[in-house]
Structure 1
Amino acid sequence: MKVENARPLEKAQLARKKVDVNRYVRDFVLNKYLYLMMVPVLAYYLIFHYAPMYGALIAFKEYSPMKGILGSPWIGFKHFQDFFGSYYFWRILKNTIVISLYSLIFEFPAPIILALLINEVRSKMFKRVAQTITYMPYFISMVVICGIITDFTNADGVINKIMMAFGYDGQAMLQKPELFRPIYILSEIWQRIGWESIIYIAALMGIDQEQYEAARMDGASRWKQIMYITLPGIMPTIAIMFILRMGNLLNVGFEKIILLYNPVTYETADVISSFVYRKGLLEFGWSYSSAVGLFNSVINLILLITANYISRKVNESSLW
C-alpha cells in the first residue's frame, strides 16, 4: 500500500520539476537580452571580486613571489597573532572605529537632510542649481580634492586665516593630530553629500502625493508632513543604505587618508586600510598585510549580517 502511494507522489514531484524547468526555459527565451546584459556584470564580479579571494591564502603562508601562492610554506595564524600582539593593533583599530563612527553619525544623515530640504523647495530652478552645486565635488579627482584641502588648511591657507581671526595659532591644520578627524569628516560630507542624496530624492519622488494633500486638508504643518509621511515613506531606503554602510564600516577609504596624513598625525589618522597599504606595498609584507585585510573583511561581514538581522526585526526591511 505504501509503495502504491509513493509512486503517485514521485510522479507528482517529477511533473512539478518538469514544469519548473519549462518555466525557467520559457523565461530565459523571453528575456534572453536581459540575461545577456547581465553577463558583463557577472564577469566583472567573478574576475575582480571572487577570483582574487583565492589570494587570501597568503595570509596563512609566508608568501614568496618566487615560490607562488601554492609553493609558499604554511605558517597558520602566525601573522594574525603578530598583528593582535603588536603596538599598532589597538591604535589603528581605535582610529578606524572612531573615524567610522564619526562618519556614521555625521556623514550618513547629511544626504538625507539635504534630500528633505531640496524636496521642500518649490522653485524648480533653485532645485537644479542646488543639486548641481552639491554634486560637483563628487566628480573631482581625489588627488585634486586632497590638494584643495591641503592648500586651504596650510599655515597661509584661506581656512587657516579665517580661524586665526578667532584666536587659532596659525599652524598648518593637517600637522595637528587632533584636527585630522574633523577635517576628514567635513571634507567627506562636502564631497559626497550631493551624490548620496540622489537615491533619497528618488525615494521621495515615489511617495504618493495624495497623502500630502490629505494631510494639508487636515491642517498638518510641513513639519508634521515630514515626520508622518516623508520620513516613513523613505525609511525602507534609509534602512537598506544603513545596512550597506554598516557592511563597510571599517573600510575607511585609504586614498584620502594616505594623501592627507603624515607621520605627525599617525596617532589619530592611521587606519587599517592605510596600515595594509604601508605594510603590503611599501614594506613588501604581503602575507602580513593580507592577514590584516582579511581580519578587516571578517569584521565587516559580521557587522553586515548583524545590521541586516536587526533591520529585518525592527522595520522588516533587509537585504535578504
Structure 2
Amino acid sequence: MSVAVKEPEARRRTPVAPGRPGKESRHTVGLWTRIRRDRSLLLLMAPGVLFFLVFQYLALFGNVIAFKDYMPFLGVKDSPWVGFANFQTLFGEPAFWHAALNTVVISLAQLVFYFPVPLALALLLHSLIQGRVRKFVQSVVYLPHFISWVIVVALFQQVLGADGALNGALGGSDGHLVDVIGNPDLFKPLMVLELIWKECGWGTIIFLAALAQVDGGLYEAAALDGAGPWRRFWHVTLPGLRAVIFLLLILRLGDILSVGFEQILLQRDAFGPDVAEVIDTYVFYHGIRDQNWGVAAAAALFKGVIGACLVFTANKIAHRMGEQGVYR
C-alpha cells in the first residue's frame, strides 16, 4: 500500500525573487515604501542636496550673462545679446592672462608639494604609531580643516608678520625683521604652507581609510619573502592606494583653476595684485567692484569649461591605465 508523503513546508513556499540573502529584492519594494523606510536618511541628505541644487545647478543658468550686456535694472532676460564680445574683451586683456598664469602656478605648486604630505602622514600613522597616540595625532592634524580661512590667515599673520611671534623669537635686536606677510617673493610658498597646515588632516583621513582596506596578509607574505619596508610600500601599499590617488588627482585637476578664493582674497592687498591676482579674484573685482558683469561671467565660464575638459581627459587616462576614475 502506498503512503502519501507530504511535501515539506519549505518546498511549498512561494519562490522569492533573487536578491541579497535574508532581504527583499530591491525590485519588489515600491518607491514610496523605500522613501518611507529611509525617510530619516533622506532628511539628513536633504540640506546638502538643496545646497547643490540652488548654488551649483541653478546657478548654471547665470552663465548666459557671459553672452549679454547684462544690466541689473533690465534683468537677465531683457539685457541685450552681444554674442562673444565679452570673450573677445576678456581674451584681449593682459590682466586676465596674468591672473590665469598666477592661478596655474599656485595650483601646480599646491598639487606638487601638498599632495604627498597627507599620504606620508597617513603611512606614518598607519605603520609606526598605534593606539591612543595615533588617535590623538589624527585628531590634532584634522582640527584645522574646520577653521575658516579668516582665522587661518590671521594666525599666520600673527606668527609670520613683521610684529609676529617669529621675529619675537629671533630677537630682532639687529633691526633685521623677517616679514613673510607682505613679501611678494614668498606669496606662493605661503599659499602652499597654509594649505598644508589646514587641509593635510583631511587628506590623511582619506588615505587612512584606503590603507585600512589593504590586506594585512600581503604585508606578511612580502616580509616572509624578504621584502624590506620600501619594497613593501612599492609593491603592496602603493597598488592598494592607486584608486584613491587617481581619484583625488582627477578631482584636483578639475579645480586647477580654483586655488582658494577666500584664502587669496584675504591676502591680495597685502602682497599686491601682481603676484596675488588669480582668476577668482579677477572675476570678483570685475563683477562686484567694476560691475563689468559680462566679462566676469565670461571668465568664470572659461574657467569652468577648462576644468571640465581636464576632468574628462584625466578620467579617460585613468581608464586606459586600468583604474576606475570618477565615472565610467
For the criterion TM > 0.5, the same-fold answer is yes
- The equivalent of 1:58 in structure 2 is 65
RMSD of aligned alpha carbons:
2.4
More deviation, 201-210/122-131: 122-131
Indicate whether 1:200 and 2:210 are aligned: no
Indicate whether 1:316 and 2:323 are aligned: yes
- The equivalent of 1:15 in structure 2 is none
- The equivalent of 2:258 in structure 1 is 251
Counterpart CA distance in 2 for 1:142 and 1:271 is: 17
Q: Of 116, 121, 130, which aligns to 1:109? A: 116
Counterpart CA distance in 1 for 2:68 and 2:113 is: 40
Counterpart CA distance in 2 for 1:152 and 1:293 is: 34
Structure with greater Cα Rg:
2
- The equivalent of 1:299 in structure 2 is 306
- The equivalent of 1:37 in structure 2 is 42
Q: Of 290, 314, 319, which aligns to 2:297? A: 290
For the 8 Å contact 2:162–2:181, the answer to whether it is kept is no
Structure 2 spans left out of the alignment, 5+ residues: 1-24
Say which SS state the counterpart of residue 72 (structure 2) adopts: coil
AA aligned opposite 2:247 = I
For the 8 Å contact 1:119–1:201, the answer to whether it is kept is yes
Q: Of 133, 136, 143, which aligns to 2:140? A: 133
AA aligned opposite 2:139 = T
Counterpart CA distance in 1 for 2:169 and 2:277 is: 28
For the 8 Å contact 2:210–2:244, the answer to whether it is kept is yes
For the 8 Å contact 1:161–1:170, the answer to whether it is kept is no
Residues 1:25 and 1:294: Cα distance change in structure 2 (over 3 Å): farther
Tell me the CA shift for residue 60 of structure 1: 0.8
- The equivalent of 1:237 in structure 2 is 244
Counterpart CA distance in 1 for 2:166 and 2:101 is: 28
Structure 1 spans left out of the alignment, 5+ residues: 1-21
Residues 1:168 and 1:93: Cα distance change in structure 2 (over 3 Å): farther
For the 8 Å contact 2:187–2:271, the answer to whether it is kept is no
Tell me the CA shift for residue 31 of structure 1: 3.8
Give the percent of matched residue pairs that are identical in Structure 1 and Structure 2. Answer: 36
Q: When the two structures are aligned, how many residues end up with a matched partner? A: 298
Deviations 1:2-38 (A, max 9, x none): xxxxxxxxxxxxxxxxxxxx97574646643448728
More deviation, 124-133/24-33: 24-33
Tell me the TM-score normalised to structure 1 length: 0.86
Q: Of 67, 83, 87, which aligns to 2:90? A: 83
